[in-house]
Each structure stands twice: as C-alpha cells, then as structure tokens.
Structure 1
Amino acid sequence: MIEHGRGSGILSTRRPSRRRSWRRVAAGVAGVTLAGTALAACGTSSAGTGPVTLNYYLYPDTSSATSTAIDNCNAQSHGAYKISYQQLPQASDGQRQQLVRRLAAHDGSMDIMGLDVTWAPEFAQAGWIVPWTGTYKAQAQAGTLKAALQTATWKGQLVAVPANTNTQLLWYRSDLVPTPPTTWAQMIADAEQLAKEGKPHYIEIQGAQYEGATVWFNTMVASAGGSVLNATATAPTLGAPAVKALSIMKQLADSPAADPSLSVQMENQNRLQMEAGKAAFELNYPFVYPGMKSDNPKLFKVFKWAPYPQVIPGVPAKVTIGGIDLAVSAYSTHKNLAFQAALCLRDAQNQLIGATVGGVPPTIASLYTNPKLFPDYPMHAAILASLANASVRPQTPFYQVVSIDISHLISPPSGISPTGTEQSLVGQINNALASKGLVP
C-alpha cells in the first residue's frame, strides 16, 4: 500500500502522501509491513514530578528525522514535556484503523497524531480532534503554504497543522526530448513520435485500481477548471471538466504512449520503468530523483524535471498534494502542551530536517529559498511553484469511500467511456455521500 502525502494513495480504504518520503515509498511498494507499537504503548501522559509525557502517534519513520525533531523539541521544552514516539503500522489503512479505535474509545493517552491529509474532515466531524484557535492558530498559519493549510481545514476551522507535503512533477529524458512538453496533448504527441522512431517512449503514471488513480483523476479535473465535490462537500460537481479529464486519460490508455502495464502501475513501478530506460516521461513525486541518481547514474545525467503538463493550454496544472497534518486529540489531558509540541515538531528547523533527512517536502514557504535545501532538492523552485497552485483531494468525512468509488470506475483507464464514466461517478459519489450503496 502506498501512502498519500508521502506520495499518493490507498489500495483499500485510503502518501504522499497518502502520503510519503522517497525512502518510505520504496519500502511501501515493496510490501514492507512493520508491526506498530501503538497498541502496546498504552501508558497515559504523566502529570507527576518531572516533564509531562506527550504521546505522539505517527507512521514509522525509517530515517532519523522524526527522532531528531522529537529530541529537539524535548530540549526546547525546558522540562515542560517529553514527547514519546508511538509508531503506527506501515500501511496507511492500518494507521487510520488504529487511530480510529483509540479515539472511539476516548483514549486519554493520545496527545498528538500525524494524520494523512485526507483524514482531517473525518476526524474533525467526529469530534476527535481539537480546532486550532488564538495564538496557536496564528503560529500554525504563519508562512505556511495555502494549499497545505486547506488540507488541515474543515468547515472553516483549522483542525490540524501541516507538517510536510508532496507534489508531482513531470520527469523526462532530455536526450529524447530536449524541450519538455507543456500540455498533455504535446506530451502524448511527443511520445507517439518517439514510438514511431523506435525509441523509449512510454508515459509512466499511476493507473492501477488504488488511490494513485484517484489522485491522477483529481489533478486532471482540477486542472480542467473543475472539482470532484462542491464547496460544502454535499454533492459531486464533475460535469464538463471531468469529461475532459477522462477523455485525456482514455486517450493515453489507447495510445502507444501508454505503458502496457498502465492498469496495474503504481508510483514505484513507474520509477523502475523509467530507471530501466523504457520510458520518456514520468508523472511522479520527487522520490524518483534520488532513486535515479543511485540506481542508474548514466541515465541520471539526462533525467530532468518540468511542471506537470497542462490540461488547458496556458493554464498551469493544479496538482493534487499529499502530506501529513498534526492534530491534537480531543481526549488529551495536556492539550496546551500538545499544541506547543506540535508547533515545535513542524517548525522551520524540524521541517528542514524532515526534508533533507526524511525526504518529505516542507510546508513552510520560506524553506524553499533556504540554500540548505538545495543539494537534496535541486528542483525546489518547481516544487514550490506546483504547491503554490495545488489542488487538494476531495474534502469529506466520506473520503475513503469516495476515493475507492473513483478508482474502481476509472481503472483500467482503457475502460473509460468519458461521458458514461462521468455519469457513473456522479451516481456512485452521491451514494457515498449519503452513506448508501456498497463499496466496490
């Protein structure tokens, strides 16, 4: 399972990231499953002598970024609190399930939680997390990217604070395509011409039946000027933009530009095909850059990046972002300290560590002009530009079902019938929002 924010998506109930760093993407797609320690860590926060213990529930970070941030914050608290890292399962659905079980039981040992960018509406609607107000809200918003804040907002309230984010770029081979295409039409035409010349020509993108396909569709709809849901998340608003998006997805699937395995491909498979020299283009997250550098140094010399292709010529694409938002549990007995610790965990110092050590792009805009970021993110300007014009996944407490419905109707992409699929999507999403019908 791939996680949103650390990359992109869900397989069953959900990297993203989503949700994720390039290291975690590679681990996730390889099927690594780590046993979470959260269920065993049932101790409550201590209010006796000495610092208060704040339990911090987050995905397993295989880098040292999270532990370093925790050490920094513990030191900066001057004895007020001590953060205890409670690792959730590796798979995103397991993470959510464990959090939901604890919150439904009003577990008072929960203080801070790392939420996938799609969970905030569900958790806020259920009353499981506390809105950010006053000084804490002002500090959370200061200098934070607008789209990242949108992922942490529900019904006009800031209910979490963005800790990291992610976005896709167009990656291409400059030896095959000296000038990168700016639109989907140009990219498909370039790929078809390369195919005629007998050269590597595939366009790698996520077409499997999981959330990666939902993210692709959401990006295309937003880039066509539409949205999946209305502003109040009460009804689908697909229409002409969705039909246009579906038409392009179908066009790719029926073109020689499509990888023959498009219908089963996820982010890591896309990366591997590009590294193997079989593709000319790849729509993917920045984790592919260090992957290419280490796995194919020769091809790395011609491995370049550009903005995500436009759906409407002249109108920048609105790429769907991923990431992790930090929320304070409604059942924490130390909420003020939890807010303070959450702000510390995602401050500029720790987000820079998260980016350079953990591989997850920051949500604080000023960090993209910090020279310390440049060696690991030479594409920092392109990432910032994409994030500044980003879209977010459909915001609804029923996101899990909505996403599954979308992915099942648009995958395989070759089975798309633009008008008919759009109508089916409207019906399925209406059922999901009304809690009717069966999950495919």
Structure 2
Amino acid sequence: MTYGDRRTSRGRARAAVTLACLLALVSAACTGGPGGTPQDGQEESAEGPIVVASGLDVTGSGSVRQQLIEEWNRLHAGSKAQQAKLVELPGGADQQRSQLLGALQSGSARYDVVNLDITWIPEFAEAGLIRPMPVEESGAAADDDLDFIRQVHATTVWKGRSFARPFNTDVGLLYYRPDLLTEADIKADKQPNAHWTWDQLYSSVKTLGLNPVRRDELAGWTTQLKQYEGLTVNAVEAFADAGVELTDSEGKYSSDAGKLKKGLDALLDRVGRGRVQPAALTSDETASLTDFAEGRAVFLRHWPYAYGALGSLMEPRDYAVNRLPGKAVLGGQNLAVTADSPRAENARELITFLTSRESERCLLDAGFAATRASVYGSAAKPCWPRVAAALRPAGDAPTAAATGEGTPKGQGAQARATYIRILGTALTEAVQRPRTPYYGAFTQVLQSHVHALLAAERPDTDAAAEKLDKELRDVFAGK
C-alpha cells in the first residue's frame, strides 16, 4: 500500500468517525478512528511520549543521541505530549531493518520517529511506511534545509520528495601510520587539501617491501571484506573509481556485464594479495580497526568514528587521517516520521531539534559526522551546553577514552581542526550506493558474488560479471 492509498483509506475512516460523533452528540470526546488512532489535525492532543527507534550508538560517547533526547525533554518539561523516548534496537543493520519493517508493517510497535540507514529510505518510502516531509518553498525553514550538505540531503529523497532529515552521516576515510612511513623515508605529512591516490598508496606499500602471507604479518592496508555491508561499500567504492554506476537516480539498473567486469577488476587490483592484510577477507569494522591499531597494517579504510576510537588504542604520533583515495561512499542515518504516527506534528518538531545546528555540533563532538555544512565552518554554533557537559567528566579536560569525542589524547585542538576540515571535504565529494526499494536484495546478491570472487584461488572476473549482471537485472526489477 502506498502512502497515498493510506491517506485515502484514512479519509474514508475519518468521515465515518465524524458522522458517528455528530450523531452521538459527543464530538468533543471523539479522538480517532478504529484502534484509537488519532486523525489528521488532532496530532497535538495525542498523548506522549514521542517514541524514537534507532540503532545502537557506535561512538562510545555516552550515547549522544540519548543526551539530545533528554535535552529536548528538558526544553519541553511542561508538555507531557511532547516528551520523547529513545528505543535502541539490538543487532546489526540487517537485523534492525527487519525489526523496523516488521514493526511498521504489522503495527506491533508504536514508533513515531525511525532512524533509518540512508539505503533504506526508498524501500520504506515506497512501502508507505514513512511520511513525506513538508515542502518548504521559502522562509526560515527552507533556508535552514540549504545548510545540509547537498550529497547528504540527497539521501533523504525518493522520487522527487524528501522523506526524512539527515541526522548523522558517514564517509570512508584513510587512516595511516606516519611512524612506519617515516622509517621507510616516505613523506607522510599530507596537507589537508591533498591526499593519496591509489597508485601512490600502492607505491608506498611496494617501498615498504610488504608482501604478507599470514594474518599476523604487517600488510600495506586493511579494510572490511567480510560478507556483510562493509563488503558492499568497498565494492561500490571500487566500482565508482572505475566509472561504473549500477543504477540511475530512480533505481533502474544501468550497468552490464562489461562494466561490472571493469569494476570487479578494479576491486581485485585494490585488494590483491601482497597489498591487503590477509585477515581483511573476514574483517568487519572492529577487526580491521584492531589490526591497524596493533600494527598489522600501515593503511586502513574506515569510518569517522574510528578517529575517536584510535585515541584510546594508539599513541597520538602513531596515526593520522586523510581522505580516502578515489571515491568514498556515504553512510549514515536519516530521521523520518512513521506513516501511522498519531503524534506526527510533534515528531516533526523533535526531528527539527535533533538535526539543528547545535545538535549536529553535539553529534560531531561525540564522534559522528555531522550533516550540516555550517558545523564544519569557523562560525559553527556550539553544542547544547548540558549535552556537552554530559559527554565529558565534569571539570575534566575531554579525552577520547572518556567521551568518544574524536579528540585523541595528546593530538590537541590543531589536529582536531585538521580532521574536521578533512571530514567536511570528504563528505562533499562522496558518492551514494544504489538508490532502490530493493536494496536489501541487491546488497545480498553483490556480497555473495564478490566474496566468492575474492576467496577464489584463480578469480575469473568475466564469469563473475556475467552471473552478477543476470542477477542484478532481476533484483532491480523487483523479481
């Protein structure tokens, strides 16, 4: 059922309920249709709390999302209907998606706001599970929307309508070991506006003389090649570098076997034996970060939150960060109002607060990547004072181990400022994964074929591309 179908059926129910109320002469007591669901125009009278469903906070910041919810509740202490509650869903991204789909389709959970991975927006929008955001043609609200980084805001859009607001974003970054590079006389002091190309990274690995065979040996670099979403991200980045786009903006398949072979060859070259840590084939974010921190890789592809995590794992002089060579994929989550929420107006106000300039600064300080361009500028608004205080021990200087703020011990404000500039630039250049309502099926098919290819002793990209092309055609056609 589409959102339009839901609105039509609700319109009929609303008319019937109104007539019943008039006949009974108790219209003042009539609050909803079947099941007690409030109708449009009556959202303000619905009892709270506003329930927000989200995945777990990976930053180790003391839950900045929960702190933001508590700040909202303090600001609305006089209104029971505007109080909010955060529900954190367990499990990985695939499990959270299944939980949310099941809950919203069955109505078994009363969620008003859902924090959706950016790749889920087309699926939830197409299924009529989330509401389009109001269209602001002009005024303060329209101007405020322009502050979101363009590529990041585009992740909220499906078929010309925005269905969410960007909450926290993500982008691939390159972490490296200056200590090991300096020992090999490799210049590691890259400027904020310059970064390695893949050829330069390969050249550095060759100069280091690394050709690892075992998992405990030092390798040139490592990343996430386990059969899960991290593998999809690495594959899409390699495809993008090779000029291969899998879909158009409407989610229609736009590739073919020849293009896929080009992308698969680029991925194989990138993770070829002798360059990548052998353990990468079974590594997720945690495992690859550990290999890097414990000295089994010189370079690491990872997300922004790793910057804060490394502060408690390594000496500050032993690691640094820059933009990823070539194309980097966007990640992150967007906040959307559920289609059946009886508190939609209050839910939208909460989302506006959670994505405000002050709140986005809190998210950046906690280790997430902020979605607003202004947060990366010199005139950025500070984090809400009480939230900032909750993210660090009272009276103490902030440390990464205590706050997850991404301010590693000893690196200081200058290194932090450099990191923020790098992150802001990387976000403006990032690319999206395919935009499709069938993303769940797509990523499983891609992971299966790519992982088998990487694990093969003699990988055949011609045959792999032919098989992958056939299955992707079916996937993107909804078969």
Give the alignment's TM-score, normalised by structure 1.
0.79
The answer as to 2:378 corresponding to 1:363 is no
Distance 1:253 1:328 in 2: 40
Contact kept, 8 Å, 2:202 with 2:275, in 1: the verdict is yes
Within 5 Å, which residues of 2 pair with 1:152-171? 152-171=156-175
Distance 1:145 1:189 in 2: 34
Contact kept, 8 Å, 2:173 with 2:322, in 1: the verdict is yes
**Cα displacement string for residues 126-168 of structure 1 (whole angstroms, at most 9, x for unaligned residues):** 0111101233973662300111112111111101111000111
Contact kept, 8 Å, 1:131 with 1:157, in 2: the verdict is yes
Distance 2:426 2:276 in 1: 24
Contact kept, 8 Å, 2:211 with 2:274, in 1: the verdict is no
Q: Which moved more, 1:73-82 or 1:216-225?
A: 73-82
Distance 2:224 2:44 in 1: 51
| 1:296 corresponding residue in structure 2 | 314
Contact kept, 8 Å, 2:242 with 2:266, in 1: the verdict is no
124 and 50 in structure 1: CA distance in 2 versus 1, 3 angstrom threshold? closer
Contact kept, 8 Å, 1:129 with 1:327, in 2: the verdict is yes
| 1:143 corresponding residue in structure 2 | 147
Which of the numbers 221, 224, 242 marks the counterpart of 1:206?
224
Contact kept, 8 Å, 2:210 with 2:218, in 1: the verdict is no
Distance 1:265 1:141 in 2: 37
Contact kept, 8 Å, 2:43 with 2:346, in 1: the verdict is no
Distance 2:244 2:314 in 1: 39
Which of the numbers 30, 44, 57 marks the counterpart of 2:53?
57
Distance 2:162 2:155 in 1: 9
The answer as to 2:344 corresponding to 1:335 is yes
Distance 1:171 1:409 in 2: 28
205 and 197 in structure 1: CA distance in 2 versus 1, 3 angstrom threshold? closer
The answer as to 2:135 corresponding to 1:134 is yes
Q: Give the residue type in structure 2 aligned to 1:386.
A: A
Contact kept, 8 Å, 1:150 with 1:392, in 2: the verdict is no
Which of the numbers 249, 256, 262 marks the counterpart of 2:267?
249
Contact kept, 8 Å, 2:46 with 2:342, in 1: the verdict is no
The answer as to 2:360 corresponding to 1:351 is yes
SS at match of 1:60: coil
What is the CA-CA distance between 1:238 and the residue it aligns to? 5.1
| 1:424 corresponding residue in structure 2 | 467
Within 5 Å, which residues of 2 pair with 1:89-128? 89-106=90-107, 109-128=110-129
> How much is the aligned-residue C-alpha RMSD, in angstroms?
3.0
Q: How many residues align?
A: 385
Distance 1:338 1:275 in 2: 41
**Cα displacement string for residues 212-271 of structure 1 (whole angstroms, at most 9, x for unaligned residues):** 111011112223333121232122425665434322321244331121223212222111
What is the CA-CA distance between 1:108 and the residue it aligns to? 8.1
Q: Give the residue type in structure 1 aligned to 2:373.
A: A
Runs of 5+ consecutive residues of structure 2 not aligned to the other structure:
1-35, 384-404, 408-415
Contact kept, 8 Å, 2:323 with 2:426, in 1: the verdict is yes
Q: Give the residue type in structure 2 aligned to 1:320.
A: V
| Greater helix fraction, Structure 1 or Structure 2 | 2
What is the CA-CA distance between 1:326 and the residue it aligns to? 0.4
The answer as to 2:172 corresponding to 1:172 is no
Contact kept, 8 Å, 1:192 with 1:255, in 2: the verdict is no
Give 1 or 2 for the bigger CA radius of gyration.
2
182 and 418 in structure 1: CA distance in 2 versus 1, 3 angstrom threshold? farther
Which of the numbers 248, 273, 286 marks the counterpart of 2:304?
286
Percent identical: 24
Contact kept, 8 Å, 1:54 with 1:111, in 2: the verdict is yes
Q: Give the residue type in structure 1 aligned to 2:252.
A: T
| 1:325 corresponding residue in structure 2 | 334
SS at match of 2:311: helix
**Cα displacement string for residues 329-374 of structure 1 (whole angstroms, at most 9, x for unaligned residues):** 11011222211111111211112222223x2111011101257699
Distance 1:282 1:48 in 2: 49
SS at match of 1:134: coil
123 and 281 in structure 1: CA distance in 2 versus 1, 3 angstrom threshold? same
What is the CA-CA distance between 1:113 and the residue it aligns to? 0.8
| 1:71 corresponding residue in structure 2 | 70
Distance 1:241 1:186 in 2: 25
340 and 140 in structure 1: CA distance in 2 versus 1, 3 angstrom threshold? farther
Contact kept, 8 Å, 1:354 with 1:360, in 2: the verdict is yes
The answer as to 2:235 corresponding to 1:217 is yes
Q: Give the residue type in structure 2 aligned to 1:58.
A: S
What is the CA-CA distance between 1:186 and the residue it aligns to? 2.3
334 and 108 in structure 1: CA distance in 2 versus 1, 3 angstrom threshold? farther
